[in-house]
Each structure stands twice: as C-alpha cells, then as structure tokens.
C-alpha cells in the first residue's frame, strides 16, 4: 500500500484571513481521496475550514548543502527587519 500509493502534503487554513499552513502528509491514490484523508486525519478537532493537498513529488526543495550560500548572507542585514517601529496591537495578524 505505502509503496504504491503516492504521498501528499497537506495544508490547512485555520480561519478565513489566515494562510494555509503545512500540517503533515498522507497517502492516497488520487486527489479526491487525498482531500478526504486529509480531512479525516488533520481536521478532527476543528483545525480548519479549507484544505489543500499537493503531491509530495511535485515539491522542489532547496539543497541543504547550499544552506550557507542561500541563507547566511542575510544575517548582517538587520535593516531589512521591521524592528524599528512598533506595530499597534489592533492590527492583529499581518
């Protein structure tokens, strides 16, 4: 079953206005069953109101060996962070 059934990544949106967030993965034969499996595995406690599934094989990941050249050059560019002013609480999620 596991060897022949494709793996899917599951993304759930907890509430309107928030973005879909990766919550885990499931096995399913096709997209219809994948959505059902995601619903049954990941929304049992009212976690969300929208589900995306995408085949794991369709996700392209960055190479961990390139982590240094990809991510370290940003370390000394603190001027890119919005840390120099206060965000009013009323703004909520940004």
Q: CB of residue 32 vs other proteins: minimum separation in angstroms?
A: 6
Shortest distance (Å) from residue 81 CB to other proteins: 41
Complex with other proteins: residue 7 or 67, whichever CB lies closer:
7
- Which residues contribute to the site for other proteins (CB under 8 A)? 1-2, 5, 26-29, 32-33, 36-37, 40-41, 44
Nearest to other proteins of 40, 71 (CB atom)? 40
> How many Å apart are CA 28 and CA 46, to the nearest integer?
22
* Cβ atoms of 23 and 8 closer than 8 Å: no
* Phi-psi group of 10: left, alpha or beta (phi > 0 → left; psi -120 to 50 → alpha; rest → beta): beta
């Amino acid at each position: 079953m596991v060897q022949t059934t494709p793996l899917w990544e599951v993304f759930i949106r907890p509430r309107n206005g928030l973005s879909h967030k990766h919550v885990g993965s499931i096995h399913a034969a096709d997209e219809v069953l994948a959505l059902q499996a995601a619903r049954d595995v990941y929304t049992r406690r009212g976690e969300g109101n929208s589900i995306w599934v995408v085949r794991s094989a369709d996700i392209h990941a960055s190479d961990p060996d390139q982590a240094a050249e990809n991510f370290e050059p940003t370390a000394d560019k603190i001027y890119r962070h919005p840390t120099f002013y206060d965000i009013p609480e009323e703004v909520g999620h940004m």
